[in-house]
């Protein structure tokens, strides 16, 4: 079992327009008059921060909300597409159809209904906002630099291969310089959720594992925090 989630805490990264971050307040902690220890806390967070899921409703008016995403979109076979070398050379790198075809040349056709996780290597930069996002100015999104998925690659995966889920170990499935968030639009139109800020993918094989990505079940949610686990069969 491989945990693919960053923990939520004071250094959790959010989209620059969210300036509140993660809050965890202590309501009680200590010995009670009854002689036993008791602790309780309350938390507050935006939907789209830390390791989280984007529901299709995030970019599609009629798309599924967080609580209504079918389980077969959340527990499904997974593959890893590793573009970390290309991303290391270009922080604005976009996954191309050639990257997908090269993977298929070695491992076979991307399975229909599978989860495709893009490994850019960006998880190693977490939680350094400047290194991870390319800019750490609160509220500013015009100078972000991190890799994502190109439009043609997204259409190949979603519209031709029929994948069930897209995920990436950077801040967004769309690269930092995107202004139209076209990959979000493509996926949402097909009711395909996204996983963003996925943790280190280096321990996963290119294929042959089961992915479980279960978000907080928020009614009407456009997204939610998610705990992601990859289950790799023993050799």
Catalytically active residues are: 58
Residue 182: closest CA among 145, 155, 213, 204: 155
Dihedral-angle region of residue 154 (phi above 0 means left; psi in -120 to 50 means alpha; beta otherwise): alpha
116 Cβ contact partners less than 8 Å away, ≥ 6 residues apart: 78, 79, 81, 110, 157, 163, 165, 166, 167
C-alpha separations of 47 from 15, 53, 168 in Å: 10, 8, 17
Could you tell me whether strands 148-149 and 94-95 are parallel, antiparallel, or unpaired per DSSP bridges?
parallel
End-to-end CA distance of the chain: 13
Confirm if 56 and 70 have CB atoms less than 8 A apart: no
């Amino acid at each position: 079992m491989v945990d693919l989630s960053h923990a939520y805490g004071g250094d959790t990264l959010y989209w620059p327009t969210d300036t509140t971050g993660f809050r965890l307040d202590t309501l009680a902690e200590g010995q009670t008059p009854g002689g036993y220890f008791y602790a309780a806390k309350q938390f507050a967070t935006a939907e789209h921060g830390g390791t989280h899921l984007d529901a299709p409703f995030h970019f599609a008016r009629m798309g599924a909300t967080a609580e209504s995403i079918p389980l077969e979109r959340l527990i499904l076979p997974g593959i890893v597409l590793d573009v970390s070398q290309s991303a290391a050379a270009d922080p604005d790198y976009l996954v191309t159809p050639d990257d997908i075809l090269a993977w298929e040349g070695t491992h076979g056709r991307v399975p229909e209904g599978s989860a495709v996780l893009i490994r850019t290597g960006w998880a190693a930069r977490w939680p350094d906002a400047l290194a991870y996002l390319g800019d750490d100015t609160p509220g500013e999104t015009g100078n972000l630099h991190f890799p994502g998925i190109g439009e043609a690659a997204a259409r190949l995966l979603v519209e031709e291969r029929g994948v069930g889920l897209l995920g990436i170990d950077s801040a967004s499935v769309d690269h930092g310089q995107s202004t139209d968030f076209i990959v979000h639009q493509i996926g949402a139109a097909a009711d395909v959720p996204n996983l963003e800020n996925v943790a280190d993918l280096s321990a996963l094989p290119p294929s042959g594992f089961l992915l479980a990505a279960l978000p907080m079940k928020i009614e009407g949610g456009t997204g939610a925090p998610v705990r992601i686990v990859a289950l790799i069969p023993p050799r």
